[in-house]
Structure 1
Amino acid sequence: MYSINVRTHARRWAAVAAATALAAGPAALTGAGPAHATGGSGSASAAVLRTGLDVALLNKTVHAPLAVSLNEVRAPGSARRAALTARLDGVDGGKPFSVLRAEAADAKATVDGGRAEASSTLAEARLHVPGLPLLSVVELEAVSSRAVCEAGRSPHASVTLPAAVTVLGKRVALTAGGPTRVAVPGVGEVRLDLSKTETTSTTAAATALRLAVSVDPLKLNVAEVEGTLTLAEAACETPEAPAAPAADGVRPQGARAERAAPSAEAGLAETGGDAVTPYVAVGAAALLAAGATAVAVSRRGRRG
């Protein structure tokens, strides 16, 4: 009985050893590949309008900030709202008032592979501040900005402006000579800073138009409005370049592939085996060794 138990255990261990050797296969030889961490994903952002205004009511003891934005997006994102309204306590009884209306107002930001891009466009737009519901601070036909950051290339920023805009009812030509100031008696003053672009080795930013506003509406309970209005912004940061595809496993093409094929077939014809052959041999050897052990133990049991 003891010898039968020994033979049974020996056979079981032999089967386990053979199965383990066959199941391990190529994984036991190659091992696990290293893990790679990725970083520097890049960024992109855009906005059609940002306001940073301080609104003083007629008694000048109450100040209400107006900080709103239109179509402000970050990658991946886009927005196409063409109007913006706001509401301030104490201004026209708390009723909503128009800040911007346009025929088109688009902002888009994307990061794809090694490229980050942002753009902003505004067309046929009228911009208002509290207390001046009928008189536009600025009217313009079209402005746009664009920023592109691509791995391996210098970042780029650009701006497109019209030849002229209307500020507080006055037609003003836009020039690159510096800020343009427009003053209207009894209303106030607006200073226009044009097409600001900035680039570094990894970033780009563009602003189409920036207005510094100081007006005295004296209407709708508004005494003064001061601050800035920024139109058509775009910015980006360069992402890391995508990892190059691994060269392992690349098969030769064309004539080189045709020449390589016969040698592989010839090798198989000579040996009669393939990639699985070594593992079959290992399993067979394990079975033979286990069988020999079982026979030896059985003979000792009989002699005893």
Structure 2
Amino acid sequence: MNSPSFRMPARRLATVATVTALAAGPLALTGVSSAHATGDHGRASAVVLRTGLDVSLLNKSVNVPLTVSLNDVRAPRSAEKTTLTATLDAVDGGRPFSVLGAEVAEARATATATKAEGSATLAHARLHVPGLPLLSLIEVEQVTARATCEVGKKTFATTGVPGSVTVLGKRVALSADGPTDVEVPGVGEVRLDLSSTRTTARTAAATALELKVSVNPLKLNVAEVDGTVTLAEATCKTPQPESAAQPPAEQATPPADVKPQGEPAEADLAETGGSSTTPYLMGAALALLAAGGGAVALARRRG
């Protein structure tokens, strides 16, 4: 036989159960995620010059890749570079070969919690390739590229280019309608793509000038150069705040045997401090109270 001293009175049992259900509140019916999502602080990059050229020396007996990046910077760590020259070794008889010289060559990349931006500027610059040490592949007054990605704003990319450039010694007017082809007999060909920009919901990219080069100075028979050259390029990706990265908590389904009592609650109870879980809590509380009352009545009849 159970000792009466270990039995809780029915009235107190019902009260404790009711208080416990009410104290649990929405946590009893709502799933809570403990995962802590971290935000993406965005990305940015910028470069003043990038080459991807194949150089063939001495009737193609020696092949040298001409791969040069000048002032190539990347963020999330903010960075800035202003190197004005780019050289290449082991091409011009073992002597350093000057690929680019400029009065201004600047690249910046920054990324914070709300904004990422890349920018590149090249001014009063001359680009050379092996085989043409005295003749510039291209001369530009100033070209710029900028890409900006900011939280809550539309991404944008922009470029600034002059109306004309000098290619293989020829003054060339640039066209926004399509590529510009320049051909110099006995020297080579250059195709210029002007001002390329691309944007999406979270990214942006800008390229001021891209050159497709095919140079073969037949009279000199010194070098053949093929590939691409990019001048002033910038990219970015919009930061993603921490709150946007965290998934919303899922709401659990209430037990099937717990029914809300009385009139259905209004969908919007913001003014009274209620919520969508209130009918379920009240129904559970009333059910527990009814059970407690029945237990008390039964105990009295036994007494």
TM range (shorter): 0.5 to 0.7
Cα drift, residue 216 of structure 1: 1.1
Q: Percent identity?
A: 65
Higher helix share: 1
Gaps of 5+ in 2: 1-33, 245-303
Letter in 1 for 2:148: V
How far apart in 2 are the matches of 1:219 and 1:55? Answer: 17
Letter in 1 for 2:88: A
How far apart in 2 are the matches of 1:70 and 1:186? Answer: 30
1:192 aligns with 2:178: no
Cα drift, residue 242 of structure 1: 6.2
Match of 2:175 in 1: 175
Q: 2:81 aligns with which of 64, 79, 82?
A: 79
How far apart in 2 are the matches of 1:222 and 1:40? Answer: 50
How far apart in 1 are the matches of 2:222 and 2:113? Answer: 50
Contact 2:54 2:227 survives alignment (8 Å): yes
Residues 80-95 of structure 1 aligned to structure 2 (within 5 Å): 80-88=82-90, 91-95=91-95
Residues 54-203 of structure 1 aligned to structure 2 (within 5 Å): 54-75=54-75, 76-88=78-90, 91-203=91-203
Cα drift, residue 38 of structure 1: 1.3
1:231 aligns with 2:231: yes
Letter in 2 for 1:85: T
Give deviations 1:101-136, integer Å, cap 9, x for gaps. Answer: 011010000001210000000000000011111100
The normalised TM-score by structure 1 is 0.66
Alignment RMSD, CA only?
A: 1.8
How far apart in 2 are the matches of 1:115 and 1:175? Answer: 33
Contact 1:141 1:162 survives alignment (8 Å): yes
Residues 254-269 of structure 1 aligned to structure 2 (within 5 Å): none
**Count of aligned positions:** 209
How far apart in 1 are the matches of 2:242 and 2:214? Answer: 48
The normalised TM-score by structure 2 is 0.66
Letter in 1 for 2:217: P
- Would the alpha carbon gap of residues 219 and 113 (structure 1) be closer, same or farther in structure 2, given more than 3 Å must change? farther
Match of 2:14 in 1: none
How far apart in 2 are the matches of 1:93 and 1:221? Answer: 15
Give deviations 1:70-125, integer Å, cap 9, x for gaps. Answer: 0000011110011111113xx32111111110110100000012100000000000
Letter in 2 for 1:153: K
- Would the alpha carbon gap of residues 219 and 133 (structure 1) be closer, same or farther in structure 2, given more than 3 Å must change? farther
Contact 1:42 1:238 survives alignment (8 Å): yes
After TM superposition, what 4+ stretches of structure 1 lie above 6 angstroms from structure 2?
none
How far apart in 1 are the matches of 2:107 and 2:219? Answer: 33
Match of 1:299 in 2: none
How far apart in 2 are the matches of 1:40 and 1:229? Answer: 32
Cα drift, residue 220 of structure 1: 8.2
Task: Indicate the larger mover: 38-47 or 225-234.
Answer: 38-47
